[in-house]
Chain A
Amino acid sequence: MEYDKMKDKFFLGTSTREEEDELRRYLLSDSLSAEAQEEKELLLAMLQPGDYCCDEEIKEVAALIDRLAEDETATALHGSTARRIVLRYVVPAIAVAAALALMLMVVPYSGNSVKHGKESQIAVVAPVTEQKQNGSAVNREKPGESVLPKGVGKDSVAGNGVDISRDKSVDSYNRSSLLATSNEKKPATSPGSPVVLRSGALPPISESDKNESWVVITVSEPPNLTDDESLASVSQTGGVNEVHAEVSGERENVYIGSNSSFRLNGVRNDTITDPKDAIDHLDALFAIFTDATAVGVKEQEMHLKCFVVVDKETE
Chain B
Amino acid sequence: MTMRMQGATTDEIIEATGLSVENVRTILSRTRQLVKDFYNKINR
Contacts and interface: CB of A to CB of B under 8 A. Distances in A.
Nearest to B24: A13
B32 A51 contact: no
B2 A54 contact: yes
Interface string A2-40: 000000001111101100000000000000000000000
A16 B40 CA distance: 25
B14 interface: no
A156 B28 CA distance: 115
A42 interface: yes
B9 A13 contact: no
Interface string A56-67: 001000000000
Given A42-B35, A42-B39, A58-B2, A13 B29 contact: yes
A135 to B, nearest CB: 108
Contacts of B35: 42, 45-46
A38 to B, nearest CB: 9
Interface residues of B, number: 20
A187 interface: no
A48 interface: yes
B17 interface: no
A50 interface: yes
A50 B7 contact: yes
B28 A13 contact: yes
B20 interface: no
B27 A13 contact: yes
Contacts of A13: 24-30, 32
Given A13-B30, A14-B29, 17 more contacts: A10-B32, A12-B25, A13-B24, A13-B25, A13-B28, A13-B29, A13-B32, A14-B25, A17-B10, A42-B35, A42-B36, A46-B32, A48-B6, A49-B7, A51-B7, A54-B5, A58-B2
Interface of A: 10-14, 16-17, 41-42, 45-46, 48-54, 58
26 contacts: A10-B32, A11-B33, A11-B36, A12-B25, A12-B29, A13-B27, A13-B30, A14-B29, A16-B10, A17-B9, A41-B39, A42-B36, A42-B39, A42-B40, A45-B35, A46-B5, A46-B35, A48-B5, A48-B6, A50-B8, A52-B5, A52-B6, A53-B6, A54-B2, A54-B5, A58-B2
Interface of B: 2, 5-10, 24-30, 32-33, 35-36, 39-40
